[in-house]
Amino acid sequence: KMDNMAYFIEVEDKKVLKNFKSKSERHQTYGPAMMIGPEADLYQIAKATKAFLTADIREDGAAERLEMATGIVLRYEISEMVEAQELRRVSDDFYSLLEQNFTIKKVHRKYPVQLLHQRQFFSTIIDIILETEEGLVLIQHSSFSGKSQKQMKVKAKELRAWLHLSKMALQAVFKKQQVRTYVHFVMDSSLVEVETSMASQLAINL
């Protein structure tokens, strides 16, 4: 199961997915881990955090952002597990990391893509796309909570096929070849880059 994805593939020859190769390039941690209660539902908190990261407009005032975070905490019924200000703090830390690492020209959130390639149909929603001076940056949030960097890297590699097909779709839509792909582990305040490639060269014919 993959988090927060409208995702499906129809493939006549399922062996094609075995050709994907991947290697984790970078693992970055930003800020402290989220402060939560001892009996917290980690998956539910992760869902709420992802919802806030999608909706948060950092240019809005602190009071407005806190009010929205409070609403999300109540909607996901996690008010006894985590404080609303923690969602705002995680969002600040996350987007500050992005601003430090990339020259961002435009941000797209919840961006739907489709890809038809070699009798495969792929449809999904990408959590974040950054348009930068160097190219595109794809970021997908994950609810997985790892106990170590190794566990997070293993989990990130499990998404390599999804990341590669999403990358191909973005290359076709934006007409840009440079696309870096990341998995964001919201509960661990970690961002892992996964470089994907195909054993055989693929051409995009859309």
> What tens digit of pLDDT does each residue of 172-198 get?
999 999 999 999 999 999 999 998 765
Residue 153 has pLDDT above 90, yes or no: no
Residue 32 has pLDDT above 50, yes or no: yes
Q: What is the pLDDT of residue 197?
A: 67
Phi, psi of 169 (to 5 degrees): -65, -40
Q: What is the pLDDT of residue 141?
A: 97
Top-confidence residue, 90 or 148: 90
Percent of the chain with pLDDT over 90: 65
Least confidently predicted of 9-18, 50-59, 129-138: 9-18
pLDDT in tens, 96-128: 999 999 999 999 999 999 999 778 899 999 999
Q: What number of other Cβ atoms are within 10 A of residue 100's Cβ?
A: 9
Q: Give the pTM.
A: 0.82
CA distances in angstroms from 58 to 31, 33, 103, listed in the order given: 17, 20, 17
Residue 16 has pLDDT above 90, yes or no: no
CA distance 38 to 56: 27
How many Å separate Cα 121 from the centre of its chain? 21
